[in-house]
A and B are shown apart, each in its own frame.
Chain A
Amino acid sequence: TQLLEQSPQFLSIQEGENLTVYCNSSSVFSSLQWYRQEPGEGPVLLVTVVTGGEVKKLKRLTFQFGDARKDSSLHITAAQPGDTGLYLCAGVGVANFGNEKLTFGTGTRLTIIP
């Protein structure tokens, strides 16, 4: 069983601060995605990382895939209230490559205080 542990589970910070969310596993993933979900809605894809060591930037969000493709991080610079939501990482295991099954992380609930 592939498990993706996210930390922290909950995070509440002031607007303008920086933060990092971690997604860790003992398993290797062929790709890893980050989603943001708001209450009562489905997850919205933010980014997909595929190559070990890959770094992708999306405005104030920076995503990194670990060299060994077992972990990932999401860094938000100058957080804004609009960043509030549930952040989920999800990976396609090496063994699952080809059948598109995603394993979701445990989630990080982020609250940005104005």
Chain B
Amino acid sequence: DTGVSQDPRHKITKRGQNVTFRCDPISEHNRLYWYRQTLGQGPEFLTYFQNEAQLEKSRLLSDRFSAERPKGSFSTLEIQRTEQGDSAMYLCASSSATGNQPQHFGDGTRLSIL
């Protein structure tokens, strides 16, 4: 169990650029979640996958955001035409599908929009 890993840890980009983040979940976990966290707040849910199927999306997930989990393993989150308000920590979590199990988080990607 190597834990959830996220890449990159930090991303600085100019407004209007596209960015993509990667998440590798714990290998035996088939549920994968993306959250966004801003300073002084708890994580806010963005989207959820079970295996390769994207089953839930928050209304926070505008059409500039897209997430994939092509083979039910790693996932990517892409933000197109970034805006100042997209600056945040993007967290990935994974869990097993049995019952209400805890979600285990990676250390996030901190996105800064110039």
Are A and B co-members of a single complex? no
> Which residues from chain B sit less than 8 Å from chain A, CB to CB?
none
Using CB atoms and an 8 Å cutoff, list the residues of chain A in contact with chain B: none
